[in-house]
Copies of this chain bind each other. A is one copy, B any other.
Amino acid sequence: MTDTISGLLDETHDPSRTSWVLSANGHCDFPVQNLPLAIFSCARQGPRGGIAIGDAILDLSALAESGLLHSKALVAAQAASDGKLNRFLALGSGPRRALRRAVSELLSNPAHREGVETMLYSQASTTLHLPAKIGDYTDFYVGIHHASNVGKLFRPDNPLLPNYKHIPIGYHGRASSIAPSDRPVRRPLGQMISPGDTAPTFGPSRRVDFELELGVWIGNGNQLGEPISIGAARHSVAGISLLNDWSARDIQAWEYQPLGPFLSKNFHTTVSPWIVTQEALEPFRTGQLARDLADPRPLPYLWDDEDQATGALAATLEVHILSRLMREQGIAPFRLSKTSTANMYWTMAQLVAHHTVGGCNLNSGDLLGTGTISASERGGFGSLLEISSGGQAPIELTTGERRTFLEDGDEILLSGRLEAPGFVSIGFGECRGIVTGARSMSGLFPPSLVMAGE
């Protein structure tokens, strides 16, 4: 096994390493080469940090007290022992890497089995929570095919705006309504306007959509007024998750001018609860592929040769839908999309450098969404808005059901795999959510007004 140019591969990436936790060996999201972190709780224990191994979770609070860890690894496990990972994330890469190396050894060397086994929980017996208190959430727009596809719906001749290839377009999102995987997603009420009408109506959104994204967790942040340089930016990223930026397209179309999306995006965002760390990502780094040679070179604060050579990721992402009918009939989920992170026009480091260049401060536990990562072809589109051509072309599911947008009872499942020749591939775990019926409108206004309004 040889070092890559990043020089950050070590024994934890060794493809021959296996675990005495047998479910971690063979094809799974959480082999011993992954070791992502989450916050979990169970009947016996309150929320605390844990590391995934196969179908189990290693309790970091118990590990911190076990005497099996020392120095930096111990500091990291202690910081991950309470109900949020923010303190752990703030430690940066040194302690994070030390913990990874120690845990990799403990979970792979059978000599430790007896001492460590008592600190394992079955994932099936636990509840997963948000891994951190998210101070601020920002959503970007790095999927160049998504930007083109959506732009085409509005501007067929000029889909990409002039700023797209110069600036990582982003906007602030809502942190409070981000939830971990497997929480129901209530269809939002809101204002929308029908074509040709001059006044809006109010009711449940009829165009609820998913968006396939990565979530990027901030480790060390920066002080207000002190930008993070492109060269240092990678070190501010602690790890990544899958992210579903649920969207209500009819609400969005009516509200978004002139200040951008608001209620159409803030009713719910689902993030997969496991943080796949920077260290686990090392084997899957690749060069930036989405940029054409003819494209303008970004301004210097966004440009770093090493980032261009190794700052992108080799990940395959998929979206499946499981309708109520499929669930009832025991039919497998239907794949709506398969795409690759090679379609990201900007790297994670470029997002961090841009976000902070004006002085804005990022804090540990902040979350950045990449924006929808569509491929160039319909089979890889990352939203129903694109798949159905703005609602014009329904897609037919295995059951014969057709969808333009999501119906109540539809479950959306995001999944992803990181793969590279000579390495054990890893995954993200689950990112799923079922759309449930809208809340009743009763109680929102005096009964006498209900009919006048609709």
Contacts and interface: CB of A to CB of B under 8 A. Distances in A.
Interface of A: 135-136, 141, 151, 161-163, 166-167, 169-177, 179, 186, 188-191, 198-202, 205, 224-227, 229-231, 248, 251, 254-264, 266-268, 296, 299-301, 303-304, 354-355, 357-363, 366, 439, 441, 443-446, 449-450, 452-453
B135 A300 contact: no
A258 to B, nearest CB: 6
Contacts of A443: 229
Nearest to A226: B439
Nearest to A357: B189
B136 A175 contact: yes
A205 B358 CA distance: 9
B453 A227 contact: no
Q: Does more than half of chain A's interface fall in helix, strand or loop, or is it mixed? A: loop
Give the one of A189, A251, A358 with max B CB within 10 A. A358
A136 B176 contact: yes
A300 B198 CA distance: 17
A433 B379 CA distance: 52
B200 A263 contact: no
A432 to B, nearest CB: 17
B360 A174 contact: yes
Nearest to A355: B263
A266 B358 contact: yes
Nearest to A439: B225
A361 B141 CA distance: 24
Given A299-B202, A359-B267, A191 B170 contact: no
Contacts of A260: 171, 256, 258-261
Given A171-B260, A199-B296, A358-B189, A301 B445 contact: yes
A379 B227 CA distance: 37
